[in-house]
Amino acid sequence: MIKTDVCIIGAGPSGASTSLTLSKMKIPHYIIDKSTFPRDKTCGDGLILYAYKALRLLDEGLFSKFLNHPKFIHSKNIKLHINSKLSINFKESEDRNMVITYAKRYDFDYFLVNNLSKKYASLDFGNGVKNISELKDGVLIKLKDGKEILSKIVIGADGVNSIVARKLAGNKIQKNLTSTFVNGYFKNVINLPKTNEAEIRIIYKKIPLFFYIFPLADGSVNISLGGNAKLILKHNINLVEEVETIIRSHPKVAYKFINAIKIDSWRGWSIPYNFGKNKVYGNRFMLVGDAAGLTNPFYKEGVGTGMMSGIICAQSIEASLKNNNFSAIFLATYAKNLNNEFGRLLKFSRLMLKATQFKFLFGAITYLLKNKIELKATKVIKRKSY
């Protein structure tokens, strides 16, 4: 049996950020992932706000590598189309570099994993977790190859279907607080903005659906469509049929896909935004990223919040080890720190998401407040990013 102070389950952006921060603190730890890297990951491939803040906090050199990475594209503008006549522009100020970055998760996650410490991080990739249980002196993690790890504290960075969240926190997926999305990659998409502007549209099909067009460094384009999981099931909405209809016949979209060729099949994934509704800590464990339900409800981005949660989590780990206290009472500070960082923004985003269900009212309010929203957004972007 391997004994360690800290074991991180999951090496995506949330787990990698936890590991990178622990290594800066010179804290040895294990990090496990069922996949080997680079590995594919279904996602919208957009990074905003906290992704930048987290990268700078992790390491200025890492942030510089990110800015200059040949497989990442940066843009200074996101255009959210409320309807065919009204849009909101989220622009970065002239003195700053970007408001959104497009990076395939295949490349971005590998970028982070490649920078994990060889001195403080013990990597065990391609080896999934079979079972996990709390013992008197730690958490026992049994891997699929038969290996056993006893850790004083375990971090669940293993996504929406987190085994840590299920086994130790007793959490369940909440469809009403989850988005379901499909995405696919296309080449030969034409008439895209030269500034690599992000195109996001709210499209109403009984419920509000969010449609994304994100350009990528290899010349392909990531197309995504999704909405609230519970409402999609309730109204029997077929997302693949809907997205194909949009790219074939939507007057503001279809002309871009006249010569487009689909590269692969449509793929689906879930995006949880249940922070504040489920446990994110307990005796000898903490949850980060999607396992903690930290995706933004409105614009659906969870990589940045996940990375920041990893940094905040590592700070709690350091305090826990220093005090030799791994109890739920001691780790409660972690949830408070998460709420201090994300609480107001996530609550506001959840409110905005609910407002979109009232199509005409939401459009009218947005029309009246358009200038104010755009001005305030610039300040929020600066405060929440880099």
User: In CATH, what number is assigned to the domain containing residue 47?
Assistant: 3.50.50.60
Residue 307 · residue 55 · CB < 8 Å: yes
Identify the domain containing residue 35 by its residue range.
2-74+99-173+273-356
Residue 312, in any domain of the structure? yes
Residue 126, in any domain of the structure? yes
Cα–Cα dist 79/315, whole Å:
36
The β-bridge relationship of strands 100-102 and 87-91 is: unpaired
Long-range contacts of 272-277 (CB under 8 A, 24+ apart): 272/160, 272/173, 272/174, 272/177, 272/178, 273/177, 273/178, 273/179, 273/297, 273/346, 273/349, 273/350, 274/174, 274/177, 274/178, 275/338, 275/342, 275/346, 276/339, 276/343, 276/346, 276/347, 277/174, 277/177
Burial of 108 (0-12, 13-18, 19+ CB in 10 A): buried
Residue 199, in any domain of the structure? no
pLDDT of residue 152: 98
pTM, rounded to two decimals: 0.95
Residue 34 · residue 126 · CB < 8 Å: yes
Structure-token match 């987290």, residue found: 54
Counting the structural domains of the chain, the total is 1
Alpha helices in the chain (DSSP H): 13-24, 50-58, 60-67, 105-113, 163-164, 229-234, 239-249, 303-323, 328-355, 359-384
Residue 235, in any domain of the structure? no
Residue 237, in any domain of the structure? no
Cα–Cα dist 214/196, whole Å:
8
Residue 142, in any domain of the structure? yes
Cis amide bond preceding 13, omega within 30? no
Residue 15 · residue 154 · CB < 8 Å: no
Q: What is the DSSP string of 231-248?
A: HHHHTT--HHHHHHHHHH
pLDDT of residue 245: 98
Residue 326, in any domain of the structure? yes
Residue 181, in any domain of the structure? no
pLDDT tens digit at each of 386 positions of the chain: 999 999 999 999 999 999 999 999 999 999 999 999 999 999 999 999 999 999 999 999 999 999 999 999 999 999 999 999 999 999 877 767 789 999 999 999 999 999 999 999 999 999 999 999 999 999 999 999 999 999 999 999 999 999 999 999 999 999 999 999 999 999 999 999 999 999 999 999 999 999 999 999 999 999 999 999 999 999 999 999 999 999 999 999 999 999 999 999 999 999 999 999 999 999 999 999 999 999 999 999 999 999 999 999 999 999 999 999 999 999 999 999 999 999 999 999 999 999 999 999 999 999 999 999 988 887 778 777 77
